[in-house]
Amino acid sequence: MNQQTIVVATTSAAIGAAAIYSLQRWLRVKPFIPTLPLPVHLHRFFSGVGESFSSVEATWRLMVDEADEDGMCQFYLVGMPCVSVLRAPHVRTVLLASNYRRRSPFFDDFVDAFLGSKGLIQLQGHEWKIHRRLIAKAFQWQNLVGMAPTMGAIADAFVDRVLLPRTMDTSIDIFPLIKLATLDVLGATAFGTSFNAIDHSQSNPIVEAFTFLLDDMNRRAFDAPLDPASSLYWLPTAANREFHRHTLVLRTMIDRLVASRLVQPDSETKDTPNDNRPHDLLQCLVDAAAADASGAITPQSFADNLLTFLFAGYDTTSIALAYTLYALATHPHIQAKAVAEIHAVLGTDTPSYDDAQRLVYCTAIVTESLRLYPPVLMTLRTLEAPLRLGRHDIPTGTSIFLPIDAIQRDCTNWGPDADAFRPERHLQDDDDIQDGMSAKDKAYRFVAFSGGPRNCVGMRFAMLEATILLAVFLRRCAFTRPDDAPPVIVAPAGLVQKPQHGIWLRVALRS
């Protein structure tokens, strides 16, 4: 029996065992927490409530409609006991209680194949803590100061070469276009190189590779996770050949950049006067690793984390900006107020880091857009010890699901206007803490960047980039919504979400 036959047989046996286990669990679906509701009618053979993750509406039927008065519900997902929470105090308790997420062979193996097993989002325990501490140093504000002008210059180039040539169009789908700007920002600020996505979007190997690999991972992990061909990357299929070809493009580029920084001439050491070294995230990570005695950061972890940064910055920031422009196009009075602030703070200057800190209303706009349209719809934690949530005792090993979009639109957390686009709610002079909610709990009403010790390590970078790009776009262009534009419908797309029909806007040169 050859190796390939053994792998196929082993995979089939594992799937069969999982099916038998899930059948046993399904045949006796019953509450594992006596005080919580269990929607038996939403459970199916093998997957449990798996179908409830197929759309935003289906997820809300499970985690919102079936929740009790405390905003909680219990269910099974492929035999795994789970609880969902909505209320900010419970969200805070969960995110502070556990940094652990149980690995899933139907998900994590595909992420490993795409981003690598040493990326921060895949690490757990002590290894995660070491990497988190070192990577956080790279994202300190002092390292971001010099990146702001680069972000502004790329935003201006995007307006000149992508938006202005399309002002004669009746409408454009802004969603795929903004990815070009965010990718070029990442190339310059994270890697110290130019991806040329803005100038060469149609024949750019980096754009093509990342677009294919994102779609490929989503297809394997979410559309066909039980298909053996999804897991067996060595099979000679067309999809696998494309996977290996595009992976080689990205890995070769990243490995080359990492190698060039890890082997620097003596004249480019950190203590050299008039330092001419690159001032990008890769160099900051190299410096942090060099100062650490643990040796935890290896060439593989460098490469895996850079690829993870590339994914996060390319996809999530572009999603956030696209929805922000949509919200402003449908709220012209808010767009006008933002433009007034931009002119008062920036004038015609290229934005600096300090300028971005003074764009408080623009920052509130981005935050409000992230509240209503979070790029990542779900996060979860696995309990390593029993946990008391309100009047419920949650056992060890339970996976706690936090539906970010539902939490951030929950009226108990945000008041009766939770569905309204109102940036003022994020300003200090509009403090709207709900009755009985502490300031500490209030902070966990907004979890677009997750929360607790395992929150998004690149949050500062993402907010700086989004605010600067938004300011430059609005200073030069006006955005409106065509009457015949297709509706904007949020749809799950693997790790993130995307607008099902795109985001169609009309762009005009601002006088």
- Tell me the pLDDT tens digit for each residue of 290-342: 877 777 778 788 888 888 888 888 889 999 999 999 999 999 999 999 999 99
Answer whether residue 79 is part of any domain. yes
Answer whether residue 291 is part of any domain. no
Answer whether residue 432 is part of any domain. no
Could you tell me the residue range of the domain that residue 38 belongs to?
30-104+377-423
Instruction: Look at the chain and report how many structural domains it folds into.
Output: 1
Residue 448's pLDDT band, with cuts at 50, 70 and 90, is: very high
The set of residues, in sequence order, having a beta carbon less than 8 Å from that of 232 and lying 6+ positions away, is: 7, 8, 11, 240
Q: Where are the alpha helices (DSSP H) in 381-454?
A: 404-407, 411-414, 439-442
- Cα torsion 308, 385, 382, 228: sign: positive
Answer whether residue 66 is part of any domain. yes
Lowest mean pLDDT among 20-34, 229-243, 339-353: 20-34
Which among 476, 486, 510 has a CA at the least distance from the CA of 175?
486
CA–CA distance, 354 with 31 (Å, rounded to integer): 53
Partnered with residue 399 across adjacent β-strands are: 82, 382
Which among 209, 202, 192 has a CA at the least distance from the CA of 162?
202
For 23-37, how does the pLDDT look when each residue is reduced to its tens digit (9 = 90+)?
Answer: 555 456 789 999 999
115-144: average pLDDT: 88
Residue 209 has pLDDT above 70, yes or no: yes
Answer whether residue 60 is part of any domain. yes
Answer whether residue 82 is part of any domain. yes
Residue 434's pLDDT band, with cuts at 50, 70 and 90, is: low
Answer whether residue 61 is part of any domain. yes
Give the pLDDT score at 19: 60
Q: Is 471 within 8 Å of 501 (Cβ atoms)?
A: no
Give the pLDDT score at 274: 45
Partnered with residue 393 across adjacent β-strands are: 388
Q: How far is CA 469 from CA 149, 192, 233, 352, 366, in A?
A: 11, 19, 38, 12, 11
For the whole model, what pTM was predicted?
Answer: 0.90
Is 456 annotated among the ligand-binding residues?
Answer: yes
CA–CA distance, 250 with 208 (Å, rounded to integer): 10
Give the pLDDT score at 312: 82
Answer whether residue 93 is part of any domain. yes
Give the pLDDT score at 264: 60
AA letter at 322: A
Give the pLDDT score at 244: 95
- Kindly report the average pLDDT of the chain as a whole number: 88
Give the pLDDT score at 353: 97
Buried b (16+ CB within 10 A) or exposed e, 467-486: bbbbbbbbbbbbbbbeeebe
